[in-house]
Chain A
Amino acid sequence: MQTKVENNKAWFLVMPVFLIVAFSAIIPLMTVVNYSVQDIFDPYTRYFVGTEWFKQVMLDSRLHEALLRQFIYSFTILIIEVPLGICVALMMPTKGRGASLALILVAIPLLIPWNVVGTIWQIFGRADIGLFGAFMSSIGVDYNYASDPTDAWLTVVLMDVWHWTPLVALLCYSGLRAIPEVYYQAARIDQASRWAVFRYIQLPKLTNVLIIGVLLRFMDSFMIYTEPFVLTGGGPGSSTTFLSQSLVQQAIGQFDLGPAAAFSLVYFLIILLVCWVFYTTIMNMQKDK
């Protein structure tokens, strides 16, 4: 990396970004902080309650369940998506028209609006009109994502794998393309096995992109809302109610502004923590280069 010139006038160049993001980020965040310490009945009747809502949120068992569900979900999809993504990337052709075509086809699910992703799976998974649902019942599995909690959860996981494995695959693909051809030639001369090539040449080169992929997937799955909302609406019961879902239910559905705001802040802090890990990792990665 080149050394950078020290120049505080650069702030003038950053100012527009700062102002525009501050308008959409700092003001709403302060509003949330404001709500989180008050009990609000209507715009004119409000009381200061201090940390009351935070205590309530921390002790709320429904939120604990949502948090646990969220973690299990995020880890499940990571365990499936990362190896699958690597496999797909290894299989993708590297040259010619086939490469472009494969690249575009793999990327398609990423470009579909999230609610349409929900709709696609809502249709696809139904036993009466959907191929997947019909296939499951034809092989004798009693599958119904609308009434069975396990099926609903599995469908949401499947949907996420379908939707986001391409992201991991594309990242790994660009990582693989960065490996110089001489490495492979050396391996061929040494008569290295396919596994050895993967283990000692490809995997080390993939570390960087995999870190980015894992953290992006972790954080994005942590704020998943639209897809399960369309597919199952958080049900049956609360089997697919993740954090964002329960937050929206509380804030918009029940209009419990105070607790919802306190919840938002706790949620945001968790994300911020993960985000900080992400940021430091990437920055260290660049230093090593």
Chain B
Amino acid sequence: MTQLKTSMTRHNTGTKEQAPVYSKAERKTRNAHLRGRFGLVLYLVLLLLPIYWLINMSFKTNTEILSGLSFVPADFTLANYAKIFGDPTWYMGYVNSIFYVSMNMVISLLVALPAAYAFSRYKFIGDKHMFFWLLSNRMAPPAVFLLPFFQLYSSVGLFDTHIAVALAHCIFTVPLAVWILEGFMSGVPREIDETAYIDGYSFPKFFVRIFIPLIRSGIGVTAFFCFMFSWVELLLARTLTSVEAKPIAAIMTRTVSASGMDWGLLAAAGVLTIIPGMLVIYFVRNHVAKGFALGRV
């Protein structure tokens, strides 16, 4: 009853011009609410400040950067970006990165989909051990595998190719993909599978026609996470490439030269690496937390 009353008072305050009548408890929650908003805004400002600083800097010339601090570029310039887009050795870094990240995404999804289905639906010899082994690869520090990777891929003639980086990144994206997909697939009732088999669907037909559309959002999130983790990784990508498939992250080190740092260029290159992630997160915003929890929230 009190519940009803308070909600009615809240309604009234919106429509009538009288001084609003708040109960004591309600005033308290309102205050807490405002404090919460304020805290959140403060946190977001602090969070975005370093990024803003990078963007701000990318529009400045080096002389301006070194001459003093300012929140808005006084001498607004696109020269840093022009340099990146005008020089193939620069922009090919982005192309290379996107290329191996996409390859990795496709490979991971193709192999992880059937495996996740097996884990979510069947019991088989060694399933738990297999699952644990996969997870342990997600947790393996890349530094441990650095040198052997280099030698392995050199010996099979894959050094400095996109596929080498894509395969190397599979070591953490595939386990991640299996885990997330398994979480989403377990949410689909088993009765659907059974009904489909009774209706005469073969396994591949059922899987492609019925099951995959059912877990669309899960596949989207998985693809996003494969993309993201492959995109942010630098150590392996840098070690396995030299010229042909060099990722942007490695090219960025070129801004250090004998004459000092080219800060503006470095900032512009950094800003451009943030953009792809921001473009894709919009599509998976509602599921992103589930992905971070490896599919088990």
Residues of A bordering B, CB below 8 Å: 1-2, 4-11, 13-14, 16-18, 20-21, 23-25, 27-29, 31-32, 87-88, 90-93, 100, 102-116, 119-121, 123-124, 128-132, 134, 162, 166-167, 170-171, 173-175, 178, 185, 188-189, 191, 194, 208-209, 212-213, 216, 219, 222-223, 225-226, 243-245, 247-248, 251-252, 257, 260, 264, 267-268, 271-272, 274-276, 278-279, 282-283, 286
Contact = CB atoms under 8 A, between A and B. Distances in A.
Given A20-B167, A132-B50, A275-B135, A120 B292 contact: no
Given A115-B249, A124-B53, A129 B69 contact: yes
A121 B119 contact: no
B273 A112 contact: yes
Bin chain B's interface residue count. 35 or more
Given A21-B137, A25-B140, A123 B57 contact: yes
Given A24-B149, A162-B47, A245-B143, 13 more contacts: A8-B125, A9-B124, A14-B114, A21-B170, A28-B148, A104-B282, A108-B47, A113-B234, A119-B252, A208-B297, A247-B143, A251-B143, A272-B139
A32 B145 CA distance: 8
Query: Across chains A and B, which 3 residue pairs bring their CB atoms closest together, nearest first?
Result: A111-B277, A28-B148, A223-B141
A129 B125 contact: no
Interface in B16-43: 25, 28-29, 32, 36-37, 39-40, 43
A102 B37 CA distance: 11
Nearest to A88: B43
B72 interface: no
Interface stretch (B73-81, B84-92, B171-179): B171-179
A112 B47 CA distance: 13
A167 to B, nearest CB: 6
B281 A104 contact: yes
Q: Dominant SS at the B interface? A: helix
Nearest to A268: B144
Nearest to A30: B148
Contacts of B235: 225-226, 248
A10 B124 contact: yes
B267 interface: yes
A4 B111 contact: no
Contacts of B143: 223, 225, 243-245, 247-248, 251, 264, 267
B175 A271 contact: no
Contacts of B249: 113, 115-116
B288 A107 contact: yes
Contact of A244 (B118, B124, B141): B141
B288 A16 contact: no
A162 B50 contact: yes
A148 B181 CA distance: 46
A240 to B, nearest CB: 15
9 contacts: A4-B121, A10-B124, A17-B111, A31-B148, A112-B273, A129-B57, A223-B143, A268-B141, A279-B132
B170 to A, nearest CB: 6
Given A17-B134, A113-B231, A131-B49, A24 B118 contact: no
A24 B167 contact: yes
A257 B150 CA distance: 13
Nearest to A168: B292
B41 to A, nearest CB: 9
Interface string B267-297: 1001001100110011001101110111011
B151 interface: yes
Contact of A112 (B3, B136, B274, B294): B274
A105 B48 contact: yes
Contacts of A167: 292
